[in-house]
Structure 1
Amino acid sequence: MPSIKKSMSRRRILGTLALCGLLLPGCSVTPQALNVDALNQQRTQDLAQMFGHVEPIQHPLTLAEVVARSLRFNLDHRVKVVEEAQALDLSSLDKFELLPKLAASSAYSGRSNDSASSSRSMLTGQQSLEVSTSQDREHITSDLDLTWNILDFGVSYFNARQNADRRLIAHERERKVIQNLMQESRSAYWRALAAQELQPRVQAAIIRAESALKDAQKVEDSALRSPLESLRFRKSLLENLRQLESLAQEMATSKVDLSAMMTLPPGTVFTLEVPQGPLQVPEWSMPLERMEESALMSQPDMREMAYQGRIVVDESRKGLLKLFPGITLSTSRKRDSNAYTLNKDWYETGVKVTWNLLGLLSAPDQLAYNKTNEEVMEIKRLAMRMALLAQVHVAWHQFDQAKVQLRRSSELFDVEKQIVRHTSNRTENDAQSVLEQIASETSAILAEMRLYNALALSHNALGRMMATTGQDPDIGSIGEGKLEDLTDRVENWLGGQFPHAATRSKPIFAVAAPATSVPTPTTKGSVPAATTSNNTVSAMTTSAVEQVGTVRGNINVRSGPGKHYQRLRIIPQGETVTVLAVHSDGDWSRIGENEWIATEFITISAPAATILEIGERVMVTAQAILRSGPGLQHEQVRTPVFGEGFTVMELSPDGQWLRVGDDEWVSSSVTSRHP
């Protein structure tokens, strides 16, 4: 009897504790609004995650590094990378859904009295046995069950196939983000570079226009001119000022957009490196028919649609599978601590078949739904193919038009530069001259801006063609190696799009045409590689008479005659240099001890002895190269012999180049009058 009371007391305690455990959580949960400290902490953590892994900028950014930073640090790309990893994890989990279910369980059972019973005879209606029990008041049971439902296995198999396709879809979406980043970062680079180069000139022009506007107001107030003339003058000034201010507003956000693309903190100050050499339209050699085929086979949206089609087919099969009966195979190991049980441990096996017979009524509707669903996906796929074919042709024509716009913008920019030069040479100080100068400066700035925009448009059009045809950049894994390694791979890939950049045989335009050239040698040699011990140049260079020139643009000084040599420093635009020697290929000039810059960016003042007239005879007095046009950007025609004589047939507008034959031009700095 005491033992029974003790057991009942223990059960009451357990019951009370269980009831308290159920009630307490419901009483303790109350809404908690975010406080300022929590929000500040979250903000700090988010900013650290956003910008903490971004490497600081320590030098001017090249186009390749801008692209590399956008690919490595852009948050949109990081989202797609994480989504692909998530899809991979889900696909890895699916294999466990295909396995049988192995479940272990254990249960405790107790009651306050004995589970006793008796029996009654069905014949006599009298009690046939004494009251008895066959179960302990407290006992523990344990089971280890292995079950496998064949229907669930089939459904899990199709689920695994669908999730595997979703993983591939996540990869295609990452490809699409990479292609878009390649397109947008290149275009944003040129827009930001235009803002960097033009903003100082725009601000100076605005200040000058505002000063002229104030002077015009004073003249109008003093009645020195007719009111109509003064109003027209002020109107012209205000129109130019409005154009300049609109341009300044447009450029103000260029670097902000580029910073966001590279995940830089807002307000980060950085400088973009001005590319050397003639600015060129990217090359595209794939024919239109091949572009159509590539788009239909490789474009990320098209491949995603194909994977979606497979998912729909598997969904149809999964719906049909659920109409079949489910067969469950089971085996288990059991144990019961009941003292009245003879065999406390035993095994059980079984087979169970369940079939929802009413579910068969939905079979016709299920088949019709599956057919309609697959037809919808097929129509979507056909519509996607049609849209892609149209996009290929649109992208093709846009790229063609972008090249035309770039060429026209270059020609217009050259004209505007000459107008500025002529108007700036005027010495009149009257109001009309000031207005002409301001108008010509404004037009030149706008023309240069259109030039940069046309270049950005051409790169954007190229990126659109790559994205439309599903062409991935050949740069390896974005997360592999350091940022410098990724930058090198991007630079090599970008270099492949400009196959003529090394020889400059097909330049589209240069930012400024050279006034005269540095003498070039007769022998065309290859650019030597740098030695491992130092960056001295082992190839022969041709000595030249010391000539003083000015640098056009911010130019890199390298330790040898080639872009693969180490970059030493940057010479700012307008700085004076002395050319000591010219490399054998004529493309690089030495300006100091192991200091080389690109020859085409040096402007040499022509000596007085070379001021010639048409019809005069000249002879070659230094090593030179005849070119197809007046400037280093034109193709090389041949190398004249030292002392060879020519008749001057035409002079370039600046007098620095002489036409001495059909499509043969020579620099006046390497000739003299024939004695």
Structure 2
Amino acid sequence: MYRLAGSIHGIEMMVGVTKIKSRKVLILICGALLSGCAVAPKPLTSEQLVTQWVADSNDMFKDAEKLDSKLTFASAVARTLNYNLDKEAKSIEEALAFKRMDLSSMDELPNFVASAGYVMRDKKLASSSQDLATGSSGSPSFSMDQENGTADLGLTWNVLDFGLSYYQSKTAADRALIAVERRRKAEHELIAQVRSTYWRAVAYQTLHGQIKSVLAEAQNALSASKAVESENVKSPTEALRYQKSLLETMRQMRAVEQQLSTAPYELAALINVKPSTKFKLAAPDRLVVPHWTMPAERMTAIAFENNPDIHEQAYLSRIASNDSHSELIKALPGVGLAANLNYDSNSFMVDNYWADIGPRLSWNLIKFAHLPKIQKTSKLNEEAVKARRLAVRMAVLAQVYIAERRFKDSVDMYKQADSLYRVDSRLSWVLNQQAAADAAGDLERISAKASAIASQLRRFETYAQMQKAYGRLQQTLGRDLLPAKSFDGKNSIDSLTDTVEARLIQWDKGDKDADFKVVAAAVKSLPRNKDAMTVSTAATAKTAATAKTAVLASKANDLTTDLSRNILLAKADK
């Protein structure tokens, strides 16, 4: 008897030890799995960075047409709008927003879900029942196989989820339109940068050779002055003053060159060509000042209608309204309908296939109890969005007057710089014709040349500032240089350049009611020199004026962003 009890006790101890060891093994296995799931930082290797650099370098310039002719301002704008990487990123973000809008509309559809499962037990799922009156229990029984498979195909639709999905789709549509406005704003900013950078690059191309010539003459005169000083032909004071004047002139010329030397690289980045690319700019024979006589009231109306910032705030107001409706719907009861086709492989079941259908009602009473607070929060949110919208509208209103004032001031500055340049140029020419052979004559002639170059620099700088101010004015008004349909990926740079050229003529002449298609056709019909892709400004303006005369009496609409915006709004409504 004692032996039997001891044997049982030994078995229990062995089982207990085995359970303890099993737990330890299980803990060790779980610890190993958790440590294996931990992620450690892994910096990129030099080989990976080089591979990525090579791939990105190829992708950066692979789609750009070769620049094998002189670059006009219109072609620089066309290349910027077509190839600039910042603009390309905004376009992709816009396309992504519309794809998300399409995906969000799918949430309005019912859920149609298929599922399957498999269960395997090591023991039968047996159970016994106890009689409530007598307390006796029968033999254990089971009604499920040890291996069992299930499958079902269900269709569920909830009115509450449909309402939420509807307003979420409207929000996604508005966010897609916000992406459009941000792309437009990026285009306006890029065009304003091209306006300034292009003319600075033209100034560098024009003045670079002249600066080198003046520096060479000044260096020769400086060497000659030092030789005269060493021979004691003149007094040291006079020679040193002369050398100081020459060195000051050389410093001035190098400062001019340094100020302009980065412009070609900045322009290369805007038009998306390699900075090492050598290209020539088609400098016009004369610099044209845009004609602008639009009254402030008309500019304000155009800005309020077309400015991207105002559009974005308007869409944000609609999003706030949609959010308010969504929060209200969440507090309402949800009515749903579910229909399922089911299968169970359990051999004990009489019918392994069956279908069920039924409605379901759910209501978050806590959410409903907080409905007054939710409504107050939603109303406050709409008021905050409205306040931001009014602040932006006020900023745009002020910017209209500021941009016009800066443009007019820049025009006055350019005219003054142009007059000074003409005087300095004539003075330099006269002194060059009357130059004497002595050192003093050389100093006066070199100083006059340097002064003429500095005046020409100021002329180009003020013209670039005037063009930038004019671009900011157009940017404030929200006027798109090209219709949205111009970016269909099928137009060549030449055709896009013609469209830009026609639009620039329309703007520079202050002709907001001209027939854009007729002007574009007139520009496209002009002869194009393949070696020097330049369009005569005078001939273009004359042809455009002739085309304008042929336009019918009814005014054509100003082809701004209204066309593209209406198309996008119609697409969003669908």
| TM-score normalized with structure 2 length | 0.80
Q: Distance in 2 between matches of 1:569 and 1:376?
A: 58
Quote how far apart the aligned CAs of 1:307 are.
0.6
Q: Is the 8 A contact 1:54 1:73 kept in 2?
A: yes
- Alignment pair present for 1:123 and 2:123: no
Quote how far apart the aligned CAs of 1:385 are.
1.1
Quote how far apart the aligned CAs of 1:116 are.
2.2
Structure that is richer in helix per residue: 2
Secondary structure, counterpart of 1:108 in structure 2: strand
Q: Distance in 2 between matches of 1:565 and 1:34?
A: 53
2:78 corresponds to:
68
Quote how far apart the aligned CAs of 1:24 are.
11
1:373 corresponds to:
381
1:552 corresponds to:
none
Equivalent residue for 1:77, pick from 66, 84, 87: 87
**Structure 1 residues 391-449: Cα deviation after superposition (integer angstroms, max 9, x where no partner):** 11111111212221222122111111110111112242222211111111011111111
Shift in alpha-carbon separation, 1:569–1:53, aligned structure 2, 3 A? closer
- Alignment pair present for 1:325 and 2:287: no
- Alignment pair present for 1:34 and 2:36: no
Q: Is the 8 A contact 2:154 2:341 kept in 1?
A: yes
- Alignment pair present for 1:187 and 2:196: yes
1:594-633 matches, within 5 Å, as none
- Alignment pair present for 1:281 and 2:289: yes
Secondary structure, counterpart of 2:370 in structure 1: helix
Q: Is the 8 A contact 2:327 2:374 kept in 1?
A: yes
Q: Distance in 1 between matches of 2:52 and 2:78?
A: 29
1:665 corresponds to:
none
Equivalent residue for 1:483, pick from 488, 493, 498: 493
Q: Is the 8 A contact 2:69 2:530 kept in 1?
A: no
1:88-127 matches, within 5 Å, as 88-127=98-137
Q: Distance in 2 between matches of 1:143 and 1:569?
A: 72
Shift in alpha-carbon separation, 1:28–1:288, aligned structure 2, 3 A? closer
Equivalent residue for 2:166, pick from 147, 157, 162: 157
Q: Distance in 2 between matches of 1:465 and 1:481?
A: 28
Shift in alpha-carbon separation, 1:293–1:499, aligned structure 2, 3 A? closer
Equivalent residue for 1:308, pick from 290, 304, 316: 316
Secondary structure, counterpart of 2:151 in structure 1: strand
Q: Distance in 2 between matches of 1:405 and 1:200?
A: 26
Secondary structure, counterpart of 2:103 in structure 1: helix
Secondary structure, counterpart of 1:350 in structure 2: strand
Q: Is the 8 A contact 1:480 1:486 kept in 2?
A: no
2:358 corresponds to:
350
2:568 corresponds to:
none
Q: Distance in 1 between matches of 2:496 and 2:529?
A: 19
Q: Is the 8 A contact 1:282 1:458 kept in 2?
A: no
Q: Distance in 2 between matches of 1:357 and 1:377?
A: 29
1:265 corresponds to:
274
Structure that is richer in strand per residue: 1
Q: Is the 8 A contact 1:194 1:452 kept in 2?
A: yes
1:670 corresponds to:
none
Q: Distance in 2 between matches of 1:566 and 1:385?
A: 44
Q: Distance in 2 between matches of 1:159 and 1:85?
A: 18
**Structure 1 residues 283-313: Cα deviation after superposition (integer angstroms, max 9, x where no partner):** 2343211101111111001101111111122
Q: Distance in 1 between matches of 2:266 and 2:257?
A: 15
- Alignment pair present for 1:463 and 2:425: no
Quote how far apart the aligned CAs of 1:223 are.
4.2
User: How many residue pairs end up in the alignment?
Assistant: 494
Q: Percent identity?
A: 37
> Structure 2: any 5+ residue segments left out of the alignment?
1-25, 512-520, 533-537, 540-574
Q: Distance in 1 between matches of 2:147 and 2:214?
A: 98
Quote how far apart the aligned CAs of 1:141 are.
1.3
2:367 corresponds to:
359
Secondary structure, counterpart of 1:358 in structure 2: helix
Q: Distance in 2 between matches of 1:233 and 1:288?
A: 55
Secondary structure, counterpart of 2:144 in structure 1: coil
1:53-64 matches, within 5 Å, as 53-64=63-74
Which letter does structure 2 place at the counterpart of 1:246? A
**Structure 1 residues 47-81: Cα deviation after superposition (integer angstroms, max 9, x where no partner):** 01101111221111122211111111000110111
2:239 corresponds to:
230
Quote how far apart the aligned CAs of 1:279 are.
2.2
Q: Distance in 2 between matches of 1:254 and 1:474?
A: 25
Equivalent residue for 1:452, pick from 456, 460, 467: 460
Quote how far apart the aligned CAs of 1:104 are.
0.9
Q: Distance in 2 between matches of 1:564 and 1:352?
A: 72
Which letter does structure 1 place at the counterpart of 2:526? H
Q: Is the 8 A contact 2:290 2:510 kept in 1?
A: no
Q: Distance in 1 between matches of 2:300 and 2:42?
A: 58
Q: Distance in 2 between matches of 1:223 and 1:196?
A: 42
Q: Distance in 2 between matches of 1:30 and 1:119?
A: 55
**Structure 1 residues 185-244: Cα deviation after superposition (integer angstroms, max 9, x where no partner):** 132211111111110110111122222233333444444434443333233222222211
Q: Distance in 2 between matches of 1:435 and 1:563?
A: 51
1:534 corresponds to:
none
- Alignment pair present for 1:492 and 2:454: no
Q: Distance in 1 between matches of 2:209 and 2:59?
A: 35
**Structure 1 residues 609-667: Cα deviation after superposition (integer angstroms, max 9, x where no partner):** xxxxxxxxxxxxxxxxxxxxxxxxxxxxxxxxxxxxxxxxxxxxxxxxxxxxxxxxxxx
Secondary structure, counterpart of 2:348 in structure 1: coil
2:152 corresponds to:
143
**Structure 1 residues 90-140: Cα deviation after superposition (integer angstroms, max 9, x where no partner):** 00001211111111111112222222223222111123x443222222221
Q: Distance in 2 between matches of 1:365 and 1:268?
A: 63
Q: Distance in 2 between matches of 1:294 and 1:260?
A: 31
- Alignment pair present for 1:441 and 2:403: no
Shift in alpha-carbon separation, 1:460–1:219, aligned structure 2, 3 A? same
Quote how far apart the aligned CAs of 1:29 are.
7.0
2:222 corresponds to:
213
> Structure 1: any 5+ residue segments left out of the alignment?
1-15, 502-528, 531-561, 571-586, 589-675
Secondary structure, counterpart of 2:355 in structure 1: strand
Q: Distance in 2 between matches of 1:71 and 1:113?
A: 72
2:529 corresponds to:
567
RMSD of aligned residue pairs (Cα, Å): 2.8
Shift in alpha-carbon separation, 1:236–1:92, aligned structure 2, 3 A? same
Equivalent residue for 1:177, pick from 177, 186, 191: 186
| TM-score normalized with structure 1 length | 0.69
Which letter does structure 2 place at the counterpart of 1:188? T
